[in-house]
Structure formats: structure tokens, C-alpha cells
Amino acid sequence: MTFPGSLDDTDAARAVRYAGAEPVPLWHADRDLRGVDAVILPGGFSYGDYLRCGAIARFSPVMAELVPAARSGLPVLGICNGFQILCEAHLLPGALTRNAGLRFITRDVRLTVANTDTAWTSGYAPGQQLLIPLKSGEGAYAADPATLDELDRAGRVVVRYASSAPNGPAPNGSARGIAGVCNEAGNVVGLMPHPEHAIDPLTGPSGDGLGFFTSVLQAFAGAGLAGADK
């Protein structure tokens, strides 16, 4: 999906290709999902991130198609700005706020896979460690305590920051070290780090991120969505 200001859309398309699937470009102004089997909302600065990250993109014409499709089980992955858009669209709970250090951070971070029952993480082992780039200025996950408790209780935290930095586990100040969450059905996943930039050690810190894209293909090939009946 390309919004005005999307930046990592070609990278998301490359990751889809590396995983063995066909990337189909979707355009923000078209009320048309072109029959795709899954949607990736890529990183970037949609609409310049003016007003608030993702706040304008959620009103794009294509979102009128995407939101009901996601509620009906279409696998959707939001990366970085895409995660922010999914939160603004209320497909995922919580919000992303300024990094604790108030500066943009580019860093390879260690993540722990906390939930392997989602459409996008079924190919990982529980507790598996991933090395994936984080690059964002507003990546601190925030939600009220009740929501955070509910995410923990229902196992909806998909990945957590595993770094042992002195200021706590999350390099950006995310609540409870949360790097990514999913909806109740597990078909919609959002995360701040960029798995599409960890699909080849030549251009990324590892190939650990490819599993997000191969997982969703396994879900199509296998018996429906692994997390859909949760």
C-alpha cells in the first residue's frame, strides 16, 4: 500500500517477493484492494506525519475498504508508520508516541517473539530472538493500564524488545517493552521495527525478518489462519 509519503513500500514489496509471493501495488486514493490475499502498510511519513503520525492516512479512500476487510479476517501487517495508521484506524489498540530520548533512532534491535499464533508470526518458534532494524522518531508504544493488562492476558503482544540497555528493555520507552501487537483474531499485526529490512544479511543486520512474510504464506497454504479462531 502506498500513501503519499510512504517510504518503505518498495522494501515491503521486495520482502514479499523474497518470500515467494507476488507483490501487488495498492494506491491510497483507490477504493480497491485488487483482490489481494494480504495487505502490508509500509513505513514512511504518510502525509508528512503532519498533525499526528497516521492520523490523516486513516481517512484515505482505500481505508474504507481495508478496515472492514481486516475485521473480516484479511491478514494485514502494519510496519512503523503502518502500525501507527492501524492504531489511528482503531484496528489495533494503543498509540505510538515520541521516543523517550525525543530523537529519531536507527538501531538494530533484538526482539523476542511472544506470540506465534498470528498470521504473520506462525513460522517462528515461541521465544525466538530476532535481530531487526528499528528506525523511528515516534515509536514508543502507549496504552492505558487496562489495555496493557488485557494485551498481556490475551497474549496479544506479538514481539517485545529484548535489549538489555541500562534504561530498561525498550530503546524508545515503549510500555512494557512492547514492539508489536495484534488484534483479537491475530490477522492484524502492527510493529515498529522493520522486518522488511532484515530479509538478507547483505542489506540488513540479518535475515530474521523474512519469517513475517513467509508465515502469512503458510497460513494461506495451510488450514486457514492459525490465529483466527483464538
Partner 1 sequence: MSDKDTVEVAASTPGQPQPFAELGLTAGEYANRDILGRRPTAAELALYSVMWSEHCSYKSSKVHLKRLAPNEEQARKLLAGIGANAGVVDIGQGYAVTFKIESHNHPSFVEPHQGAATGVGGIVRDILAMGARPVAVMDALRFGPADAHDTARVLPGVVSGISFYGNCLGLPNIGGELAFDPCYAGNPLVNALCVGVMRHEDLKAAVATGPGNKVVLFGSRTGPDGVGGASVLASATFGGDGDGKARAKRPSVQVGDPFMEKLLVECCLELYAAGLIEGIQDLGAAGIACATTELAAGGEGGMRVTLDDVPLRDPSLTPAEILMSESQERMMAVVTPGNVAEFLRVCAKWDVEATVIGEVTSDGTLTMTWRNGTVVSIPPRTAADGPVYQRPMARPADLDSLQAAPPDGLDRPKDGPALRATLLALLGSADEADKSWVTAQYDHYVRGNTVLAMPEDGGLLRVDEQTRLGIALATDGNGRYCRLDPYHGTQLALSEAYRNVAMTGATPVAVTNCLNFGSPEDPQVMWQLAEAVRGLADGCAALGIPVTGGNVSLYNQTGDNAIHPTPVIGVLGVHDDVSRRLAAGFTTDAAQVVLLGATREEFGGSAWAHVIHQHLGGRPPAPDLDAERRLATLITTAASDGLLASAHDLSTGGLAIALAESCLRGGRGCRVSVAGDPFTALFSESAARAVVSVTPGREDEFARLCAAHGVPATVLGETGGDTLTVEATFEVPLPELRQAWESTLPALFG
HSE (side-chain half, CA atoms, 13 Å) at 101: 11
- Compute the least distance from the CB of residue 3 to partner 1, in Å: 11
Q: How far is the CB of 45 from partner 1 (least distance, A)?
A: 4
Q: Which of 103/153 has CB closer to partner 1?
A: 103
Is there a catalytic annotation at residue 88?
A: no
The CA distances from residue 67 to 64, 121, 149, 200, in Å, are 6, 21, 25, 32
Please pick, among 80, 88, 138, 197, the residue that the annotation labels catalytic.
Answer: 80
Task: Enter the C-alpha cell of residue 123.
Answer: 513460522
**Residue with smaller CB distance to partner 1, 21 or 228:** 21
CB of 227 to partner 1, least distance (A): 28
Q: Which residues bind partner 1 (CB under 8 A)?
A: 4-5, 7-8, 10-11, 14, 29, 43-45, 47-50, 103-107, 133, 135, 137, 194, 196-197, 202-204
Nearest to 70 by CA among 3, 123, 1, 166: 1
Pick the closer one to partner 1 by CB: 180 or 227.
Answer: 180
In the annotation, is 80 catalytic? yes
Residue 207: C-alpha distances to residues 7, 19, 190, 198, 214 (Å): 21, 11, 19, 5, 12
In a 3-state reduction of DSSP, which class is residue 86? helix
Active site residue 87: no
Kindly list the catalytic residues: 80, 194, 196
